Structure 1
Amino acid sequence: MPDFGENTTQVTVFVLVFGAVTLMGFAAARWRRPTSIHSLEEWGLGGRAFGNWVTFFLLSGDVYTAYTFVAVPTLVYGVGAAGFFPVPFLVIVYPMLFVVLARFWSVCHVHGFVTPAEFVRARFGSRGLGTMVAVVGIVATMPYIALQLIGIEAVFEVMGLPKGWPLTIAFIVLALYTFNSGLRGPALVSIVKDALVLWTVLAVVIIMSMTPGGWDPVFRVASEKFAASPRPDDGLLLTAGNQLNYITLALGSAVALFLYPHTLTGVLASRNRGTLRRNLAALPIYTLCLGVLMLVGFAAVFDGTTAIGGNGNTVVPQWFNENAPAWCAGLAFAAIGVGAMVPAAIMSIAAANLFTRDIYREYIRPNASSREETYVSKTVSLTVKFGALLVILLLNTQFAIDLQLIGGVVIMQTLPAVALGLYTNWFHRWALVSGITAGLVTGIVMLWQVPKLGGADGRTVVREHFGGSAWPLEKIGFETDATIYVGIVALAVNLVVVALLTPLLRNAGVADGRDRTTDHDYVADEGDPTVRRMTEIIDGDPVPEKAPPPANFFTPVGHRGAEAPPPEDPSRQAYPRL
């Protein structure tokens, strides 16, 4: 290996771990290999059959990304308490997930849905609405994939590697084993990722326990630093100006998280409702780990760590480089690198599934075979990854971060159709389309009005537009420094439009779509005769085949009804158009 000076040990450890992870990614293709590999359910959802341990690691790798472990402590380093918003939003989100996602699992398994857009199309009888949800999901996911590269890029910069080819090689490896193994690849690699993250958390605890005085001097130095800063939005406690934004950002982030396609993809890979619920109940343990890593931001202030080349994302890896043994820093770098690969792979698979099922099969090749579907999804996943790579290599990194802020606002607009649609079909399909449109327009206009502030005082306008997601209330006449998260306002507009237009459209006689789901679909579980897609168990005993459902099982429900049983393969039926 070439000599990297002081960082030779770190680079060696990183390369060894990354090499082992690569081998695991390719080996995953033969891990409990199914009889039929040319199926989108097998490649994109792991056969819908992950058990308890695999589901836990997959969901944790899906939700807790490398960007979370790099950017959030960096935000704490810069502004203090305001950077802790992921902790309350993750506390909020798990009860939501526990209640909502079990219903989503059931209806998707009964009908063979692979994407949330397929569910929306069936629930509201609208092909156009389903396509809209799919496009929104793809648009919101693309910058999220690019953000994962920022964490790896920061690690490479700290290790002294040049920008460009190391990142390209890393993503070529990711693209190849994802193409080969599908969701099984990141599912298996996520086990290593979690082990590395837990070691990194332990390393933080050990390092800080050896600091004279423990955490007391750390918080004291951080408090003095924020008190001397001319910025009005930093400190160990929230200021009056950022409390509203903190609350709305936490709530909005919680809503956005369970609507992102990659989160729902991980959910659909669980083998039954019990597996899903047990893991959602256990995942808050990971939030505790995140809270410990966020304290690295204060530790970096105490130790005087500075960003390399003005890149704020290097603060966390640089702190490890300066305060941990070289081999330990190498493991921390590997945790960040592998922690980027796992969610990036799942996100690209989710985006590819949306394109294949909801655009390609609906508009280009309605009669595409399972083999063709799988090949198209594999190809699109490659395209998505390299598109994200180009964004990082050719555009300013801050631009990618700003795009992700927009992505969160965008994905929130699918809440009425996807999440609320799991409980009611009262909404009119045209009202949902209008609500999503109104929410998107409102969100984009508000984001356009948010300037990018910088400078020592945090008040200098660096860029006029799309500078963040905190919208100043002074724009509507309030004499205050308070701001509010754009996504919450846009979602409120969306919900109001849907609630007002639904009765108006019905009273006007505008045709509704036909709901092709039944009440029982939302509570069906493994072993139920209607759940017909459980073809393989990845880490448990195979489920015995069940008899087909009786002919009179499906009964009409809902105000639009389900007048006839679904066809033999409900996932491939033609739905009414808008």
Structure 2
Amino acid sequence: MSAVAVTVLVFLFLVVTILGFAAARWRRADLDSLDEWGLGGRGFGTFVAWFLIGGDLYTAYTFIAVPATLYAGSVTGFFAVPYTIVAYPIIFVFLPRLWSVSHRHGYVTPADFVHGRYGSKTLGLAIAVTGILATAPYIALQLVGIQSVLQVAGFGGSGNWFLKDLPLFIAFAVLAAYTYSSGLRAPALIAFVKDVLIYVVIIVAVIYLPHKLGGWGHIFSTADASFTKFNGDNASAIASGQAAGKGLMPPPTLHWAYASLALGSALALFMYPHSVTGVLSTRNRGVIRRNAALLPAYSFLLGLLALLGFIAVAAGVTVSGNPPNPQLAVPQLFENEFPAWFAGVGYAAIAIGALVPAAIMSIAAANLFTRNIYRAYLRPDATPAEEAQVSKIASLVVKVGALVFVLALSKSFAINLQLLGGVWILQTFPAIVVGLYTRWFHRWGVLAGWAAGMAYGTVVAYRQASPVQAHFGSPLALFPGTSTKVYIAATAFLINLLVTIVLTVVLRAAKVDPGVDQTTEADYTADVDDEGVAAEVDPHAPAHA
């Protein structure tokens, strides 16, 4: 343990903790409503939203799992860079429509919109449950990032399990406390510190480390030689499926896997409840469009960050664990190659980079529970103050669940935890995005398509478990009837669409009640200037059909 590195880490953690609690007084308002506690008063402008949404999307997954996949030699590990680039033109088109209809009707969650659009509480419940299920492993991934930093910083090791994980419990308790007290304002304020730290660390790393290690050419050649040697030494194990091959670039047999991972992840990115929460917290449609144009700056940063995996290989970084845990590669690289004080800054960037999205994710999941389970089924007449209180408690429960998830399951290849959530959350795309443009889909057809996609994706993902990947394994599987591997979520999504379309035709032909659409076309183009119209609508939830 380096006293200097730990001191810097603790100091910066204390700074963001103070900011988290102080956020309750930033833009002071009554936090006893979901609009204020869960959406920051729906008043964030371009500058705040850029940091908030960026801090929401570029998480410990960015700092830990993406470089870890390249360090481990995963030939499809670089897919995260193109998928974030593809996502922004997509959201430029549809998110302003979601903002407008949510602004008009007071929707807080995507499930609120689905409930109102299709006139179906059941479909809204399905979307809410999916969002909670997909968000839980994503929060867990943030805690894995914190745990990796703490372990490399010297807080890990053997001994009493409670004492070993005590720093993680402390970080978790602080996160829970300021999220409870300040709501979405806390991660919005902390995101400023988080993003500054990340930009500084990555820019310094991609300039300083290649210079120290002999240049990028040497880094790539060293990584390639290391992966080639591994493949040669383990040829029989790779051929039998007992080990995964390594490489810098995906071979032709995995091109569809790489492409489907990128496209499927891009379509899923803004289906996550925490992404929608960041969007709905903005002031108007223009803020969303400007951020869709500005956020690709983070993709440039992500490309540089991913290369840290190859740098770690070239630097001879070895990681602990049995089997070795690649999630430790970047923190260990900082420990080995940077001065102690800057290693502490790097640790803090990763830890704070986990706190911001974890807070937003827990808020988003809590809002789904409150609006689309508690209020829709248990307490239809709940007051705004009661909704806010239930959401605060639910956010604590979600974080506890994520903590148990981290401590109980294997941490190897933590990216698969998030990719499994991606399989699930992509199945909400037809209900949400298609629903923003047409009401042709029948509500029961959408529900059946969702169920088919969820079932297929979960079963196939579970079957990918192997000696290399415990529990749910690789996100890739053979496309039915072919020898081509693709992203499981993409195949599940196609099945979802097919079932939805076929059943819609059948149900409409049979004249089955499609439900009452509580929105109008004008709702999808309304901006903040239509505040007077919006005020005439119940601001708490969609009416029950």
Counterpart residue number, 1:123:
117
Counterpart residue number, 2:520:
518
- Give the counterpart of 2:137 among 130, 143, 154: 143
The Cα of 1:405 is off from its aligned counterpart by 2.9
* 8 Å CA contact 1:158, 1:308 repeated in 2: no
Counterpart residue number, 2:9:
14
SS in 1 for 2:72: helix
Q: Does 1:336 align with 2:350?
A: yes
The one-character-per-residue Cα deviations of 1:506-550 (angstroms, maximum 9, x if unpaired) are 1112111111111111111112245646xxxxxxxxxxxxxx7xx
The Cα of 1:229 is off from its aligned counterpart by 2.5
- Greater length-normalized contact order (CA 8 Å, ≥ 6 residues apart): 2
The Cα of 1:108 is off from its aligned counterpart by 0.2
Q: Does 1:104 align with 2:98?
A: yes
Amino acid at match of 2:500: V
SS in 1 for 2:486: strand
Amino acid at match of 1:471: A
Counterpart residue number, 1:560:
none
Counterpart residue number, 1:229:
230
* 8 Å CA contact 1:453, 1:467 repeated in 2: no
The one-character-per-residue Cα deviations of 1:347-368 (angstroms, maximum 9, x if unpaired) are 0000000000111111111111
Counterpart residue number, 1:470:
476
* 8 Å CA contact 1:45, 1:266 repeated in 2: yes
Name the CA distance, whole Å, in 1 between partners of 2:214 and 2:407. 43
Q: Does 1:275 align with 2:316?
A: no
Counterpart residue number, 1:203:
204
Counterpart residue number, 1:321:
335
The one-character-per-residue Cα deviations of 1:123-146 (angstroms, maximum 9, x if unpaired) are 111111111111111111111111
- Give the counterpart of 1:396 among 382, 386, 410: 410
* 8 Å CA contact 1:245, 1:484 repeated in 2: yes
TM-score (norm 1): 0.88
* 8 Å CA contact 1:143, 1:400 repeated in 2: no
Counterpart residue number, 1:543:
none
The Cα of 1:170 is off from its aligned counterpart by 0.3
Amino acid at match of 2:8: V
Name the CA distance, whole Å, in 1 between partners of 2:213 and 2:115. 60
Answer with 394-403 or 41-50: which moved more: 394-403
* 8 Å CA contact 2:69, 2:77 repeated in 1: yes
* 8 Å CA contact 2:114, 2:432 repeated in 1: yes
Counterpart residue number, 2:165:
164
Q: Does 1:490 align with 2:460?
A: no
Name the CA distance, whole Å, in 2 between partners of 1:570 and 1:338. 34
Amino acid at match of 2:305: L
The Cα of 1:477 is off from its aligned counterpart by 5.7
- Give the counterpart of 2:148 among 125, 148, 154: 154
- Give the counterpart of 1:79 among 55, 58, 73: 73
Name the CA distance, whole Å, in 2 between partners of 1:320 and 1:411. 34
From the superposition, tell whether residues 360 and 212 of structure 1 become closer, same or farther in structure 2 (CA, over 3 Å): closer
Counterpart residue number, 2:367:
353
* 8 Å CA contact 2:442, 2:507 repeated in 1: yes
Mark the structure with the bigger radius of gyration.
1
Q: In the comparison of the two structures, how many residue pairs are matched?
A: 525
Name the CA distance, whole Å, in 1 between partners of 2:506 and 2:532. 36
Counterpart residue number, 1:24:
19
CA RMSD of aligned residues (A): 1.7
Amino acid at match of 2:496: N
Name the CA distance, whole Å, in 2 between partners of 1:91 and 1:402. 21
From the superposition, tell whether residues 570 and 240 of structure 1 become closer, same or farther in structure 2 (CA, over 3 Å): same
The Cα of 1:385 is off from its aligned counterpart by 0.7
Counterpart residue number, 1:451:
465
SS in 1 for 2:513: coil
Counterpart residue number, 2:159:
none
Counterpart residue number, 1:38:
32
The Cα of 1:263 is off from its aligned counterpart by 0.3
Q: Does 1:574 align with 2:529?
A: no
The Cα of 1:81 is off from its aligned counterpart by 4.5
Name the CA distance, whole Å, in 2 between partners of 1:477 and 1:85. 25
Amino acid at match of 2:438: T
TM-score (norm 2): 0.93
SS in 2 for 1:424: coil
Identity of aligned pairs, percent?
Answer: 51
The one-character-per-residue Cα deviations of 1:408-460 (angstroms, maximum 9, x if unpaired) are 11111111101110111110001001100111111122113213253xxxxxx
Counterpart residue number, 1:554:
none
From the superposition, tell whether residues 88 and 180 of structure 1 become closer, same or farther in structure 2 (CA, over 3 Å): same
From the superposition, tell whether residues 92 and 572 of structure 1 become closer, same or farther in structure 2 (CA, over 3 Å): closer
Counterpart residue number, 2:46:
52
Stretches of structure 2 that go unaligned for 5 or more consecutive residues are 157-163, 232-237, 239-243
The one-character-per-residue Cα deviations of 1:208-264 (angstroms, maximum 9, x if unpaired) are 352364211111111212222225743222212221111111111111111000000
Name the CA distance, whole Å, in 2 between partners of 1:301 and 1:207. 16
Name the CA distance, whole Å, in 2 between partners of 1:219 and 1:398. 24
* 8 Å CA contact 1:107, 1:521 repeated in 2: yes
